[in-house]
Structure formats: C-alpha cells, structure tokens
Amino acid sequence: MHGRVKVKSTAQQEEEKRKEREKKLKIYVAARDACFSKRKEGIWDEGALQITQQLLSSNPDFGTLWNYRREILMHLETVKDEDEVQKIYEAELSFLESCLKVNPKSYGSWHHRDWVSTRLPRPDWARELSLCDRCLSLDDRNFHCWDYRRMVVKMSGVPVDQELAFTDRLIGSNFSNYSSWHYRSTLLPLLHPESPELPSPPRSSLPPSPQTHSHRVCEEQLLKEYELVQNAFFTDPNDQSAWFYYRWLLGRAEREEMISCVFVSREEERVSVAFSRPVNAQSVGLLLVLDGLPQRVEWRSVHPRFKHSPVWICDLPPGTVSDITNEHNLTVHWMEKHTHRDCALYTGRTESWCRDSATDQELFRSELSVEKTSVLQSELQSCNQLQELEPLNKWCLLTIVLLMRALDPLGYEKETLAHFQTLKEVDSTRSAYYSDLCSKFMIENTILKMEYAEVRVFSISDKNLTTLCHLDQLLLVTHINLSSNQLQRLPPQFAALQCLEVLEADNNSIENLEGVYHLPKLEEVLLKNNKISSLADLQPLASCLKLKRLDLRGNPVTRVANVESELAELLPSVSDLLL
Amino acid sequence: MGTQVKDVIVKPDAPSTLLLDKHADYIAAYGSKKDDYEYTLSEYLRMSGIYWGLTVMDLMGQLPRMNRQEIIDFIKACQHECGGVSASIGHDPHLLYTLSAVQILCLYDNVDALDVDKVVEYIKGLQQEDGSFAGDKWGEIDTRFSFCAVATLALLGKMDSINVDKAVEFVLSCMNFDGGFGCRPGSESHAGQIYCCSGFLSLTGQLHQVNSDLLGWWLCERQLPSGGLNGRPEKLPDVCYSWWVLASLKIIGRIHWIDKAKLRSFILACQDEETGGFADRPGDMVDPFHTLFGVAGLSLLGDEQIKPVNPVLCMPEDVLQRIDLQPDLLS
Ligand SMILES: [Zn+2]
C-alpha cells in the first residue's frame, strides 16, 4: 500500500466504516465466486466479460481475471467475424482506458493493453501513441506508460527522430524529467552512431545497451547535446537528471578487450596474465604456447574468491624454464577474442614481461573521453562559470572534477583534491562515496607517475585513501607503500600483486588481510599501528612462503596470549618479528 | 527557479526505537482477519503476503507463532498441474508466487511439500528464446521474472535446468546509461528492477558485469535529507525502496556510500506505535510488505536485535546456510 495517510476517526465513524466494508465485502465475494465458477464451467460469454469488468475496475491487479478475459476474447475471436472482433477489442481498449485513468500504474492493465493491441485485427497505433502522449502529460515519469510507448513505437515503426523530437518537447517544458533524458540515451546512439560507416556487428539479436561500446554518439551530435544539457543545468543547477545524463555523455568508450600483460618468472616457473576486464580463464579458451609447443597448464585466478578475475596464473611443467642459460618464447592466446600476447624470456634473465601499460592505453583519461581536448576545455569553462554562481553546487563540482581528469589528471591534482574536500562538506551524506572516488583518482595518478618514472615502486602514503582499486595494474610492482591512509582491508584483489616483495602499510585501520595471499616473492610486511586483532586475521600470510620480516607493533593482536609462539607456528618462515 | 527536493519531514516525536513486540503482534494478527474486506481484496497476492509475514517473523525470531501446517497445506493446494504456484486457491499460477511459495517452504525446511520437478519444468517452460522469462503463460516479460526464475531455481539447487548464459545476456541488455536496470531493454532504471537484476547477476555469478562505481553513485543519490531512500530521481522516499536500494548497494559492495544512521532513523519513524508494523512513509497506513522491508533494512544496517538477512533473497541467513546457498557479493 502506498501513500495512504492514516486518519484518526471516532468510534462511531469506525463502526459506520465497518458496516460499509462488510457490505462491500459481500458484493465483492459474490462477484468473485461467480467469476470463478463461470470459468470452471468453461463459460466464455458477454456476461463473464461484464462481471470481470466490474471487479477489475476496482481491483485491476487481480491478474487471474485478466487471464479469464483473455480466454473469453480468444474464444470470441473464433466465433465472430472480423468486424465484430474488431469492435469487441475496441471496447476492451476503452474499458482499459477507464481502468488506467483510475490506476495508471497497474501492471495488469498495461500488460493487458499490450496484449489487446497486438491482437486487434486493425490496430490503430496513432491512437495508442496519442494515449501515451496524454498519459505522459499527466505524469511524465510513469514508466509503465513509457514502456508501452516503446512497444507502440516499435510495432508501428515510428521513426527514431520523431521520438527524439518528442523528448525535446518534454525536456523543453520541464528539464527535470529523468525519464526523457533516459529515453534520449537510448535513441541518440541509434540516430547518430559514433561511426556510421562502420556499424559494429551486433553481439546478439538484442539491441545493445547504452553501456556498451557500440552505443556511443557521434561527435557532432554530442556538441548539440552538451548545449541542451547546459541549458538545463544553468536553468536549474540542482536538478540531478541533467547531471546524470551529462556524465554519461562525457563517458568514454569501453576499453578494448585484450591481454594487457604477460609476466613469466623462472624461479617460480609461473606465468601471470592480466586482462583488460575480469574473465573466467577456464571458459574463455586460454592457450599457452612455449617455444612453439602448446602447454597443458591449469589456470587459476589470483584468489579463490574470484571466478572472474582480471589476473590469472599458471604453473609451467617443472624444469621447462628453470635453466637460466636457455632462451624461451611464450605466447598466450585468448581464443575467444582472437587475440594474443608474446613474451620473450632471454638468457640470463630471471623474469620477463610484455605489456601495454596504463599510460600506453590512456587508461585513466578518466572515465571520460577521447573527445577533442578543446571541447572538454570549453565544457570545463562553462562549469567553472556556473560554479562561480553556485559555489556549493555538488553536481557542478563533481562534473568539474571529472572534466579535469579527462583533460589532465596530474596537472589538476591539487584542484581535484580541494574540490573533493568541498564535496564532502556540502554533501556529507555521501562523504564515503567522495572519499572512495578520490582514492581511486589518487591511485590512478600514482600509477601514471610510476609508469612515467619507469619504476616498479608504488608509493601512495598519507593520501587519505579509503579504498584500493586498479590492483590488476600493479602486477609488476615489487614495493608498495600504503602507509598513513585510512584503509580497513587489503582485499582479495590485492593478490594480483604477484611480484610484490615489500608491503608497507603502517598507520592504517587494517583489520583484514585477505588479499595477502600466495604472493610468492613477498618477504617483508610492515603493518605497524593497524587493527589486526586475532591470529585468524593473519592466516592469509601463511600462504606467502618467503615471508621473513613482519611488523605488527601497535595492533590489538599483540596482546593475545602466547602470540609469539602461536605466530612461530603459523608463520615458520618469519625470522624477524616485531610485536 | 530551482527544484524543490521531494521529501518528507520526519517529526521529532516520530518513533525512534525498534518496537519488535508490536510488529510481531501485528503480523500474527494480520492473518486472522480473513473476513476483512481489504484482506480479501489482496487475495491475488496472498502467497507473497504470507512470505512477507513469515520472513519478518523469522527475522524477529517469532516464526513459531505462525500456523505452519495450515500454510504448508495452503501452498500444496496452490500448486497447479503445470507445476507453477498461484497466489491463492482459484487463482492462476505465476512466477512471482512460485518464488514466494518456495521461499516459505525454505523457511520451513520443507520444499518437498511441492512437486519440485514440476516447479523446475514450469520455470524452464517460461524462458523465451532471447533468454528472458515470462511471468506466466500470458507472456508478460520483465527482469523481475528473470530474478524470480533464478532465485527459485537457486533455492531448489536446480540452476542448470535453464539456459543461464542466455538469461544473463537478456538481463545485461537491460542495463542503462546510468548503470541501472529497467523492466525490459530500453526501460528506465528503477530501484526495484536494479535489486532484481543485481540479485540475478549475483545468483548467476556475473556481478563483475555491473559497473559498480556508476551504479553505486546512482543508488547512493537516492538518499534524501530525511534519510529515506527513493526508487528513482525526484521521487518520494519509501521504506520498500530503502530496502531495494540498500540491498543493491550491499550486493555491489557499496553499502557504506549512504548515511546509515540517517536511514535507520527514517525507517524507525515509519513504525506505527499504536498498531505495530511499518508504513511506506511516516504517518501512513502500515502493511506486512513494508513491515518486512523495514525490518530487513534495519537488519542490513546491522541491528543486532534482528537476525542477519541475506540481501539477494531477502531471507534469514541461517535459512540459506541450512541449504548451503551463498550468493556472491562484491567486496
Ligand atoms: Zn513502498
């Protein structure tokens, strides 16, 4: 029950209401039972139509009665001529119209209209479309009606540009209309695909969703859309609809599907493979070829929690690459995507890799795009103008942050941090969201800096990090410094750091080490002043066989009875333990 | 100029503590008003109504107060020749009520009260060529029904009886520009559908396909100054939407993006101190539906007076442990 205000009433009023309800109940039950028994007897006549009509007009969610009506209508189709059938169905449509007037959000009524419309001998789609127009003019957010409209449009072949013009009209009369903006997001890519001369092959019989690569919009149309959205948010800067739509417009194309990195280590006789998205290597057809010979290997994700993971590992058959005087050539094939990556392991080298780095792929030109810098620059200018007028508008601030990232993530780092600070203050309800997003951007910047410096050290201390992400990008990192942040855990994704030797994470709030799992080279773990409270929390470290040095000072676990001897048993390789 | 934020005002004298005993009394009494007009009008969804009532009772540790045998007999009587279950006797079978029936029988550890093989056949028969599911033989297509299908099969341990890949493909084709999901391809995002679709992707092991950061942003923007959550932009807050948004955020590992304390006080304010039960908004009429989602929401927010609830199936965790079902959640 929705939106029914509780009203106080006197005892006398209550008694009157009770009597009235009793009366209504009797009538209702009699009608219902009459329906059920007619149906049981297989009666499909006008009388049954009448009695179900009476019930459904007050209770349109009574689905079984619509079913009964459909049975009757289908029966009448077989005994009446086409004109009569047409008339019966038209009567049904006007009955439905009266139901929808009373209850415009009944699933049952809308579905029945759908059903009737597709059975009508001579459908009048123009009338249906104008019904939608009227209904949406009463409530422009009624999603049942929008869905019905989409059905009508599809059945009657209404041109896409006509529908786009319809959203123009609705948005023109009221910018705050999320449903219309949504509809535009589905229409634009049909009308103005990104590269019309190269239609991407449909993945399936289904229409692609606006989230997928093929559903981007060509640049000329994008510019027009930017203008429309700007009109909207300059008119009403607090209307979220336009801002959500704007963020989508600015979104970048999906990343190409590929093998982004192959790493091979002689000592561990192990190959690690990173993909551009999480995959299930056991089902995508992954083939490892070593010196021309396909290898029978078993792929496993970096953590047993993941059936889909961006990083997969396999052990080579013993002895195949261990002799340092031999040179080897590896190729990993991703059969499903017809792509592969080679990696050469030269004589005298203990390890080797081949990859496209984050900088190569322009991975963190944000979620924003490839669009021309000048366009983004002018968008940023407009937003900055708006921000001067509305300094505390969170939508505008967040959009500025996104635009800055698209333009120059490192150059705008200081402004970005300041804007995030303001966002957390003006929209404190969502401060955790802003903290996580800011953490993500800082991690991206640190990856970029690391790659420009061509080092394998990832250092991001004292940056108020609340979450870790992009860990699959850190496959080659040997030293990581996460000290003095606000991390609460090293999540399972952390197990992607297959080359990690030193982990520094002092002064956080870490209570969970799930991701420090089977890291074959890990020797040193510094966790001073965290919140590790039990030996069980340290269990994952037992899978890191080379661990020598462990600093747990300032953790609650140090106060556990017999902690030293328990740890000696749990982590026999550790020789340097600080408690 | 400027949009007025649609929201409610929580009055200072609104309830601020959890009135568990009253809620249990309210639900226990609800089923005994069988001759009530309003009760009779809602017969078309009776099976779900029973699921709402029993689940909230179980979450409050009060399941034994309900009439187990009567309910099980009722469910048996609602299974049809085709295998599907109807909301009540005399009504037609539908996926919505088939799921509710199986959920109830899981609470009672008694799924064999139904002909399980026939249930599976029924569900299998409703899958369409494009992977979607019709709610019943009359062909209404909705991602809600995709959820009902896989949730029922997961509870029965029979997921492999349908074409899961196709089913996933269909649900993913309903993903929108905002990362959310609608009823059908092209339909607007809606918290209820997002709950169904993220729950569906959890049960089918495909949560990595969700754009969690984008969807999580849309979801946490559902929280209004009153603390309540709405189901779509520019709509009023509601206890049931609070559950759907909250559960979705939990499934995609972003529950900390909303202000939990504020939501808790909004949900508590929707209690009726006189009658027990929760309403959609403070001051409205209570019903079992909002009572379940109010209590379940408080459980997800960590209230220790209530049993832990599973965000995907909206059932007590201990029931799912018993049948060894642990749907994926993102971390
Ligand atoms: Zn509600």
How does pLDDT run across A411-454, given as a tens digit for each residue?
999 999 999 999 999 999 999 999 999 999 999 999 999 999 99
Band of pLDDT at residue A215, cut at 50, 70 and 90: low
d(CA B87, CA B97): 5
**Sign of the C-alpha dihedral computed for residues A405, A410, A415 and A421 taken in this order:** positive
Asked if the model's pLDDT at residue A198 lies above 70, the reply is: no
Q: Does B110 touch chain A (CB under 8 A)?
A: no
Nearest-CB residue to B173 (from A179, A206, A244): A206
Band of pLDDT at residue A205, cut at 50, 70 and 90: very low
What pLDDT is recorded for position A4? 84
pLDDT in tens, B179-205: 999 999 999 999 999 999 999 999 999
Q: Are the beta carbons of B37 and A3 separated by less than 8 Å? A: no
Q: Are the beta carbons of B218 and A143 separated by less than 8 Å? A: no
Q: What is the ipTM of this complex?
A: 0.96
Q: Are the beta carbons of A248 and B44 separated by less than 8 Å? A: no
Asked if the model's pLDDT at residue A502 lies above 50, the reply is: yes
Q: What is the mean pLDDT of residues B144-172?
A: 98
Phi-psi region of A497 (alpha: psi -120 to 50; beta: other; left: phi over 0): beta
What pLDDT is recorded for position A204? 40
Q: Are the beta carbons of B37 and A25 separated by less than 8 Å? A: yes
- Decide: B180 and B244 in contact? Cβ < 8 Å: no
Burial class (CB in 10 A: 0-12, 13-18, 19+), A154: exposed
Minimum mean pLDDT among A204-218, A352-366, B32-46, B306-320: which range? Answer: A204-218
Q: Indicate the helix (H) or strand (E) that contains A97.
A: helix A82-102
Asked if the model's pLDDT at residue A202 lies above 50, the reply is: no
What pLDDT is recorded for position A374? 81
Nearest to B119 by CA among B110, B128, B111: B111
What pLDDT is recorded for position A283? 84
- Decide: B92 and B86 in contact? Cβ < 8 Å: yes
Asked if the model's pLDDT at residue B283 lies above 70, the reply is: yes
d(CA A323, CA A329): 14
Higher pLDDT, A434 or A204: A434
pLDDT in tens, A37-63: 999 999 999 999 999 999 999 899 999
Q: Are the beta carbons of B287 and A1 separated by less than 8 Å? A: yes
Q: Does B86 touch chain A (CB under 8 A)?
A: yes
Q: What is the mean pLDDT of residues B97-124?
A: 98
What pLDDT is recorded for position A200? 44
What pLDDT is recorded for position A103? 94
Query: A241 to chain B: nearest residue by CA?
Result: B233
Cβ neighbours of A239 in B, within 8 Å: 3
d(CA A147, CA A117): 14
Nearest-CB residue to A63 (from B94, B211, B259): B94
Q: How many angstroms is it from B247 CA to the middle of ligand 1? A: 15
For A11, B173, B278, the CA distances from A6, given in Å and listed in that order, are 15, 41, 12
Q: Does B52 touch chain A (CB under 8 A)?
A: no
Write out the two tokens for A274: 């990173």
Nearest-CB residue to B331 (from A186, A209, A491): A491
Asked if the model's pLDDT at residue A10 lies above 90, the reply is: no
Q: Does B22 touch chain A (CB under 8 A)?
A: no
Count the alpha carbons within 13 Å of B221 in the hemisphere toward its beta carbon: 23
What pLDDT is recorded for position A361? 67
Residue A505: phi and psi, rounded to 5, are -145, 40
> For chain A, what percent of residues have pLDDT higher than 90?
78
Q: Are the beta carbons of B36 and A25 separated by less than 8 Å? A: yes
Asked if the model's pLDDT at residue B2 lies above 90, the reply is: no
Asked if the model's pLDDT at residue A252 lies above 80, the reply is: no
Average pLDDT score, chain A: 91
Q: Which amino acid is at A455?
A: V
What pLDDT is recorded for position B254? 98
Higher pLDDT, A448 or A251: A448
pLDDT in tens, B48-107: 999 999 999 999 999 999 999 999 999 999 999 999 999 999 999 999 999 999 999 999
What pLDDT is recorded for position A424? 97
- Decide: A104 and A135 in contact? Cβ < 8 Å: yes
Query: B1 to chain A: nearest residue by CA?
Result: A236
Nearest-CB residue to B92 (from A6, A67, A179): A67
Asked if the model's pLDDT at residue A197 lies above 50, the reply is: no
Higher pLDDT, A192 or A527: A527
- Taking ligand 1, which is a single-atom ion, which protein residues have CB atoms under 5 Å away? B 238, 240, 280
Higher pLDDT, A147 or A409: A147
d(CA B280, CA B294): 9
pLDDT in tens, A300-335: 999 999 999 999 999 999 999 999 999 999 999 998
Asked if the model's pLDDT at residue B109 lies above 90, the reply is: yes
Band of pLDDT at residue A223, cut at 50, 70 and 90: confident
Residues 509 through 568 of chain A touching chain B, CB cutoff 8 Å: none
Where helices occur in chain B by DSSP H, the ranges are: 20-30, 37-41, 46-59, 68-78, 95-107, 116-126, 143-156, 164-172, 191-203, 212-220, 239-251, 260-269, 288-300, 317-322
Q: Does A412 touch chain B (CB under 8 A)?
A: no
Q: How many angstroms is it from B281 CA to the middle of ligand 1? A: 8
Cβ neighbours of B136 in A, within 8 Å: 63, 67
**Residue A189 distance to chain B (closest CA, Å):** 11
d(CA A53, CA A467): 57
Minimum mean pLDDT among A69-78, A219-228, A450-459, B310-319: which range? Answer: A219-228
Nearest-CB residue to B177 (from A182, A207, A440): A182
How many other β-carbons are positioned within 10 Å of the β-carbon of residue B8? 21
Residues 113 through 132 of chain B touching chain A, CB cutoff 8 Å: 130
Nearest-CB residue to B284 (from A3, A111, A210): A3
Q: How many angstroms is it from B239 CA to the middle of ligand 1? A: 6
Q: Which amino acid is at A71?
A: E
**Which positions ≥6 away from B76 have C-beta within 8 Å?**
B113, B114
Asked if the model's pLDDT at residue B255 lies above 60, the reply is: yes
Residues 255 through 314 of chain B touching chain A, CB cutoff 8 Å: 256-259, 262, 272, 279-281, 283-285, 287, 289-290
Q: How many angstroms is it from B271 CA to the middle of ligand 1? A: 13
Size of the A and B interface in Cβ pairs below 8 Å: 180
Query: A440 to chain B: nearest residue by CA?
Result: B213
d(CA B137, CA A275): 43
pLDDT in tens, A357-415: 777 766 765 445 555 678 888 889 999 999 999 999 999 999 999 999 888 889 999 99
d(CA A100, CA A225): 34
Asked if the model's pLDDT at residue B217 lies above 90, the reply is: yes
d(CA B116, CA B104): 14
Asked if the model's pLDDT at residue A212 lies above 60, the reply is: no
Nearest-CB residue to B169 (from A204, A210, A430): A204
What pLDDT is recorded for position B55? 98
